[in-house]
Amino acid sequence: MPAAERVLLGSVTMWLLLPSLFLLASCLRSAAAFPKGCYPSEEEGLKTFRCSNARLTEVPRDIPNDTNKLYLDSNRIPFLPRDAFRDLPLLLELDLSHNAIASVESGAFRGLAEHLHSLDLSSNRLVSVSKDAFSNLKAKVNLSNNPWLCDCRLQELIRAVDLAAGSSGGIVCDSSAQEEHVGKAFLQVIADTDFCNVYKKTTDVAMLVTMFGWFAMVISYLVYYVRQNQEDARRHLEYLKSLPSKQRRSEESSTISTVV
């Protein structure tokens, strides 16, 4: 084969291979950006990003923004900061189960309200979370198997979220102001106890006690003031009685005028 033809054939081959090389380089670059143990895939037509058992200690930052299903389960994530998932507008399912999550900041799920329909926070270390952390979420939420403190805050949270089917029985009182509640399912407990109403009554009683204390102080001061003035008036009258007649009458008139 002539040299010219070989060069031409080589050039054509190179041009044909270039797109494949660029695609391969792009894939390798993307893979290198993902945390170790994380990888993208497609499941049932949905773009999925899996980071299960990847020893993560925080939510990864390089998650593809077209992800539909995100698995961050079985890691070591301790808390969820504000805007942790703000760059994932198409997220439908989020699995954060079996981590060490003990705190969820308000706004952690901001940006997910429109599409997210499943949120799994089971088997973490949640003790108390504000209902504001789940503001506007329409997702089915799994909060089971956490060491919950059963109080008004948890009651407000449960009323604010839509619990995943079959998960309510796993929300158990790990601690409570009333010892008899420990170890019982929270929904069973609030069937007989309104934690928020108990809190309101306690607050009302505290306010009444405070008001009574102030009232008692005012009354005590008035009684002291009246008695003190009576004592001064008695002393003055005794003094007037000890004076000569004319001066006494003049002083008495002055005293009566002053009193009037």
- Classify 77 as helix, strand or coil: coil
Domain boundaries, the chain: 32-193, 194-233
Q: What is the per-residue pLDDT for 231? A: 67
Using an 8 Å Cβ cutoff, are 105 and 79 in contact? yes
Q: How confident is the model at residue 18 (pLDDT cuts 50, 70, 90)?
A: very low
Q: Which of 98-112, 127-141, 191-205 has the lowest mean pLDDT?
A: 191-205
Residue 124 has pLDDT above 90, yes or no: yes
Identify residue 153 by its one-letter amino acid code. R
Fold held by 32-193: 3.80.10
pTM, rounded to two decimals = 0.66
224 — pLDDT class (breaks 50, 70, 90) = low
pLDDT value of position 35: 86
| Buried b / exposed e along 118-127 (16+ C-beta atoms within 10 A) | ebbbbbbebe
